[in-house]
Chains A and B, each alone.
Chain A
Amino acid sequence: MDQFLQQLLNGLFQGSIYALIALGYTMVYGVLRFINFAHGDVFMLGAFTALGLHKLMGPTLALLPWPVSLLIVLLVSMTLCAALGIIIERLAYRPLRDRPRLNVLITAIGVSLFIEYSAQLLFGATQRPFPDLIPRTAIANAGGLTISVAQVIVLVTTLALLAGLRIVVMKTRMGLAMRALSLNPTASTLMGVNNSVVISFTFGLGSALAAAGGILYASLYPSIEPFMGIQPGLKAFVAAVLGGIGNIPGAALGGLIIGVTETLVKGYGQELGIPSGYSEGVAFVLLILILVFKPSGILGRVEREKV
């Protein structure tokens, strides 16, 4: 029983990191209706920025208590990545705003490959160790369950960002504009919304979320490389679709479902004759199932395409 609870916990934490990345994915999709393939790569850049920052001002950071230095690193790399996201949108996506969706998708793949291969050129293909921004200690639990500080931080951050994002989208003027743009870009312009500003904001926010995800992910699994964003990015996308793409709580739910399912396959599959290696495919099997049976996702609404 203890083991099962521990596995559920493992799954929950694994899922919360997927959820964290999925938030940004789903928000960009919700507003702009296209898959930002490069999201996983901004995630990777977030981790590398944090590493660079740590190299640059390591001694100074070491003097501060770890939560403060973590916060500094988080904020700085989130800002840098937000700026990068806005630049990417300006250069690559904005010229395509009236083009067919397929062109935008191809561009997104291009941007993704570009970031990956330039990172490989800059940082090399080999794994690099990531500093312990969060102390590597376990909070032992009475029932023999173990939880680490990093895991708790990831969960708390995910919940906080989930709440924060919900407030931004539902309660602020910018959020109102985002929702208007999402419903109908032409009508929102007519109502006085500056679409370009809203889109830039959405990209900036999405990239900042990705960067935060990258840093926390790297703190949990302290080795980073230029292609580290691909798998989590894909899984987060699946999580977003699972929960209903464009739906913020749905993304969190989808992330948790994937995390728990993967963990259970890894933990118990071997006894049932399913090698743990299959867990890699779990997310995609879930994706195909959901798209066959309920393409709008668990919490999503059915949308009909109008002519």
Chain B
Amino acid sequence: MKRYTTQIVLLVVVLLSLGISVLSGKFDAYYMDIALNVGINIILAVSLNLVNGHTGQFSLGHAAFMAVGAYGASIFTLEMSARLMPLLGGPGSFATGVAFLLALLVGGLCAAVCGWLVGMPSLRLRGDYLAIVTLGFNEIVRVILQNTSGDGVFGGPLGLKGIPPLTTFFWVFAIAAICVYVVGSMVSSTYGRGFPAVRDDEIAAGSMGINTVRYKVTAFVVGSFFAGLSGGLYAHLRTTISPEGFNFLKSFDVVVIVILGGMGSTAGVIIAAIVLTVLNEFLRDFEQYRMLVFSILLIVMMIVRPQGLLPSFPILNRKKSA
């Protein structure tokens, strides 16, 4: 029995979110909105943590994959859903749900393919180059989307509007739970020992027979996939998306969550996602100080406590190997 605990917890979370989702009309719309934001940020942060934290590949382009997922899913919903309805047994909550799941998967897969395309060449690079390449990729995605025609499927600089509000508590937290589960299982499996190995010393890992490029690409593709899912959820929550919203400052926001939560610590990152998202709402009036405080925190933390604000999780503050 004990060996299934993880799966049971996963099931409980999914069922719980389904329950809350059914009752969502009873909750305050604004609190619900914050809760959904929290969930989306958890997916973003946990998936980025797989790349940045567990595998030690510093990506600054997570928002690009989110954008690809958001556009992929939205375009699927806007263009294909109506046509799929008859195939799924006519309009109804079941058919809508299946179509939405398909849209999310399409978005996630688009993002994963992009992750693979960017990852294959650039993951051969050293850490700081990768940071710039991913940041560059983020900018390229934004520039391309912005320069599309306003009448075309991508909607140009104004982006897409009128996306049906299909994102519910259930979808967000079920996917968040799956994301946490998948990333957790990946890094704690026998195979997954390779991720921290790549992070800790790539050359040593390589000489021990670990295919470092494959580990890095795997992390990148899985991370991008979940970023894509979160993008799809975001688009169907906000109902409008525009290229400018996925600029590299959005990527920085996620990076901040991962670093403050502790790179390589799933629980820490989840807590950071919750705390920072909620804090962001309460400190709305102090917006101009928010990034100032975060930036100071980043600097001070790297000096004093690089392992994140939570105690006792995989740490970063090893001495550099000679």
Contacts and interface: CB of A to CB of B under 8 A. Distances in A.
Direct A–B contact in complex, judged by CB atoms less than 8 Å apart: yes
Interface of A: 34-35, 92, 95-96, 98-107, 109-114, 116-118, 120-121, 234, 237-238, 241, 275, 277-278, 280-281, 283-285, 287-288, 291-292, 295, 305, 307
B144 interface: yes
A103 B306 contact: yes
Interface residues of B, number: 45
Given A96-B303, A99-B320, A106-B298, A35 B132 contact: yes
Given A98-B320, A104-B302, 15 more contacts: A35-B131, A99-B306, A99-B317, A101-B128, A110-B296, A111-B295, A112-B295, A113-B252, A113-B295, A121-B288, A288-B121, A291-B121, A291-B133, A295-B125, A305-B126
A35 B128 contact: yes
B58 interface: yes
Contact of B128 (A105, A120, A288): A105
Interface in B280-322: 288-289, 291-292, 294-299, 302-303, 306, 316-320
B295 to A, nearest CB: 4
Contacts of B291: 113, 116-117
Contacts of A102: 56, 58, 127, 316
A24 to B, nearest CB: 16
Interface of B: 56, 58, 121-122, 124-129, 131-133, 135-137, 139-140, 143-144, 146-147, 203-204, 252, 255, 259, 288-289, 291-292, 294-299, 302-303, 306, 316-320
Nearest 4 CB-CB pairings of A with B: A284-B136, A110-B298, A113-B295, A114-B295
A6 B264 CA distance: 53
Given A99-B320, A291-B122, A117 B58 contact: no
Contacts of B128: 34-35, 101, 105
A110 B135 contact: no
A14 B144 CA distance: 23
Contacts of B125: 291, 295
Given A103-B306, A281-B144, A241 B299 contact: no
16 contacts: A98-B320, A99-B306, A103-B317, A105-B127, A107-B303, A110-B298, A113-B298, A116-B291, A120-B288, A121-B288, A277-B143, A278-B143, A281-B143, A284-B140, A288-B133, A305-B203
Given A281-B139, A287-B132, A295-B129, A100 B316 contact: yes
A114 B297 CA distance: 10
A101 B201 CA distance: 12
Contact of A103 (B146, B294, B302): B302
Contact of B255 (A103, A109, A280): A109
Nearest to A101: B127
Q: Is the interface of A mostly helix, strand, loop or mixed?
A: helix
A105 B131 contact: yes
A113 B252 CA distance: 10
A29 to B, nearest CB: 9
A307 B203 contact: yes
A241 B292 CA distance: 30
A241 B135 CA distance: 14
A300 to B, nearest CB: 12
A295 B124 CA distance: 10
Contacts of B129: 241, 291, 295
A30 to B, nearest CB: 14
A254 to B, nearest CB: 13
Contacts of B132: 35, 234, 237-238, 241, 287
Contact of A105 (B58, B136, B144, B203): B58
Contact of B319 (A98, A111, A284): A98
Nearest to B200: A100
A95 B303 CA distance: 6
Contacts of B255: 109
A280 B145 CA distance: 12
A100 B318 contact: yes
A223 to B, nearest CB: 20
B121 A238 contact: no
Contacts of A112: 295
A120 B249 CA distance: 15
Contacts of B292: 114, 117-118, 121
Contacts of A121: 288-289, 292
A114 B132 CA distance: 19
A125 to B, nearest CB: 9
A295 B133 CA distance: 12
Contacts of B303: 92, 95-96, 107
Contacts of B122: 288, 291-292
A113 B121 contact: no
Contacts of B306: 99, 103
A307 B124 CA distance: 17
A115 to B, nearest CB: 8
Most chain-B CB neighbours within 10 Å: which of A102, A118, A275, A280?
Answer: A102
B69 to A, nearest CB: 20
Contact of B299 (A110, A234, A305): A110
Contacts of B203: 305, 307
Contact of A281 (B140, B295, B297): B140
Contacts of B295: 110-114, 117
Given A107-B299, A110-B299, A113-B298, A280 B139 contact: yes
A107 B300 CA distance: 8
Given A99-B320, A105-B128, A113 B294 contact: yes
Nearest to A110: B298
A98 B302 CA distance: 12
Contacts of B297: 110
